[in-house]
Amino acid sequence: MGRKALLLRTIVELLLEVIEKVSMKKYIYLIICVLGAHYATAQQFREHPEAQDARNKGNAILTHLLFGYHVPGGDLSDRFGSAFSIGLGGEFLTKNNFILGVEGHYFYGNTVNEDPLAILRTPEGDIIGNDRLLASVALRQRGLYTGALVGKIFTFKQKRSGIRFTLGAGWLSHKIRVQDDKGTVTQLTGDYIKGYDRLTAGLNIQQFIGWQHLAANRRANWILGLEFGQGFTNTRRDWDFTSRRKLDQKRMDLRFGIRAAWTIPFYVGNAKEIFY
């Protein structure tokens, strides 16, 4: 079991490393591959004679592979467009279906509405590199959220599946990734890049409502629902070159979207056995 968990973790880490190098189609393909690996790992877990009783009456530890798609609101919509996300989560689920957990999401998108490089552009909108040719510079959205959450599953006929509601709080950060493909623009190297990326961070609160399904056979376990986030943020850079000042206004960064997760549950029996 340890080797399987290590393998899954390695796959996710590699995925995060290559996200910034692949196109949207390749990214979606990689998500499918990771989902398949996660499902294959769950399929190999062995049944235990007492597992059914532990599932219905005991506590559980839930591990999640998280995916999302969000649209921005508030000040965030002035800077960015929609974004995909991928992340990991871990939760403790009590026998009464109360939830206590932690989670982290890495999100990215290709739409940037602000132009932090306006000061470098020619009247035609181009940027000239050191080789006196047109530079190939792209702007991307990058962000990270880490936090804790509490909540409850409101069940009906099934004791471990039902409407899931959680409240969370944590730290949100985002920036404009300035990608100089040819590496020919001196102003976009080293610490100079900090004057253009508009790094922003602050407290963020999150709400989720949806359906959580924990199957009796412990194999088809998933979450799907709506997620809402409100970030109380401000700039983390001392100077913005294009604006020629520090962007010190307080921001309200809103995110609305869909959150999905594939789950591996670990059920704790009366004698502290763990069933998968």
- The string of pLDDT tens digits covering residues 208-242 is 999 999 987 767 899 999 999 999 999 999 999 99
Give the whole-angstrom CA distance, residue 50 versus residue 168: 33
What CATH number corresponds to the domain at position 94? 2.40.160.20
3-class SS at 39?
helix
> What is the predicted pLDDT for the residue at 210?
98
Query: Is residue 4 assigned to a domain?
Result: no
Q: C-alpha distances in angstroms, 139 versus 43, 111, 150?
A: 41, 8, 36
Q: Nearest Cα to 146, choosing from 264, 70, 81, 66?
A: 66
Query: Is residue 29 assigned to a domain?
Result: no
CA atoms 26, 27, 32, 37: torsion sign: positive
> What is the predicted pLDDT for the residue at 124?
94
Per DSSP (E only), the strands in 120-220 are 137-155, 162-180, 200-214
What DSSP character marks residue 114? S
Query: Is residue 17 assigned to a domain?
Result: no
Name the pLDDT band for 52 (thresholds 50, 70, 90).
low
Q: Answer whether residue 119 shows pLDDT above 90.
A: yes
> What is the predicted pLDDT for the residue at 47?
47
DSSP-assigned states of every residue in 224-245: EEEEEEEEEEEE--S-BTTTTB
Query: pTM of whole model > 0.85?
Result: no
3-class SS at 116?
coil
Query: Is residue 24 assigned to a domain?
Result: no
Query: Is residue 90 assigned to a domain?
Result: yes
Place of tokens 């010190």: 248
Q: Answer whether residue 122 shows pLDDT above 50.
A: yes
Query: Is residue 8 assigned to a domain?
Result: no
As a whole number, mean pLDDT of residues 117-141 equals 95
Element (H or E) spanning 91, and its range?
Answer: strand 83-93
Query: Is residue 220 assigned to a domain?
Result: yes
Domain tally, the chain:
1
Query: Is residue 221 assigned to a domain?
Result: yes
Q: C-alpha distances in angstroms, 194 versus 38, 116, 136?
A: 37, 11, 19
Q: Which domain holds residue 262?
A: 45-275
As a whole number, mean pLDDT of residues 50-59 equals 62
Helices 2-18, 24-43: crossing angle, 10 deg rounding: 180
